[in-house]
Amino acid sequence: MEPTSDPAPSAQAGDGARFTELYERIAPALYTWAEVRIRPELRSFVDPQDVVQEVWCRAWKAFRSFDPESQSFRYWLFRVAKNVMLEVFRELRSPDGGVPGGDPSKRLLVLRDVPDSATAVSQRLARDERLKLFAQWIASLEEDERMLVVHLGLEGMTQAEVAARLSLSRDAIAKRWQRLLARVGEQGVMRELLAEAG
């Protein structure tokens, strides 16, 4: 059988190696996204590595629900990731949760039975200085620019979706995105992590 450019159909059928290949393509963007989303003061409660591993586990369990005809793997995976983050932030806000000032040894994501391949990926990403620099660059942007990079570039949302979310016209989003991409090029940061936003 000839390999396809999109390994998602094989992974959907249960091929673990194909799932790993597909996940590893998006994992650097996912790790960067988690770096940007988790504020420094919350790192004692949740770590980007934990998020990457938890998303791996949940995505693998739910993969049979993924339909490559209706959405990209990136978009689907980030929906899983957003659910993980929502749960973490909800726990942080709960009265008995790990609120800042509480017990700093309390981790919100208690990981069990994480495959070695997921752990290896998250450890490799955590050591990648380029990802940390890219996350720092994103964090340094103005709020609206940061949201464009997060939603369009990392999460893979469409320009129309982001326009609706940010209450801007699609043309305004497209122009701002082009300017941001030019700055990404000038900075020499990791443009290959960004989705092709349309």
pLDDT tens track for 64-95 = 788 889 989 999 999 999 999 998 888 877 76
Per-residue model confidence (pLDDT) at position 198: 44
Joined tokens for residue 21: 């290949």
Does residue 160 register a pLDDT over 90?
yes
pLDDT at 34: 93
Q: In the chain, what are the domain boundaries?
A: 1-127, 129-198
Share of the chain above pLDDT 70, in %: 76
Structure confidence at residue 189 (pLDDT)? 63
Residue 15 binned pLDDT confidence (cut-offs 50, 70, 90): low
pLDDT tens for each residue of 103-127:
544 555 555 555 566 667 777 888 8
| Whole-Å CA distances, 78 to 33, 106, 186 | 9, 25, 27
Query: Rounded distance, CA 110 to CA 134, Å?
Result: 27
* CA pseudo-torsion sign 115, 121, 124, 126: negative
pLDDT tier, 3 (very low <50, low <70, confident <90, very high otherwise): very low
Architecture of the domain whose range is 129-198: Orthogonal Bundle (1.10)
**Average pLDDT taken over every residue of the chain:** 80
Of 20-34, 119-133, 152-166, 169-183, the range with the lowest mean pLDDT is 119-133
CA distance linking residue 102 with residue 13, whole number of Å:
44
Residue 60's pLDDT is 86
User: What integer pLDDT is reported at residue 138 of this predicted model?
Assistant: 92
Contacts of residue 145, Cβ cutoff 8 Å, sequence gap at least 6: 176, 180
The pLDDT-based confidence of 140 (bands split at 50, 70, 90) is very high
Total length of the chain: 198
Q: List the structure tokens of 128.
A: 């990648």
Report pLDDT digits (tens) over 19-59.
Answer: 788 888 899 999 999 999 988 888 778 888 888 888 988 89
User: Which pTM does this prediction carry?
Assistant: 0.79
pLDDT at residue number 7:
53
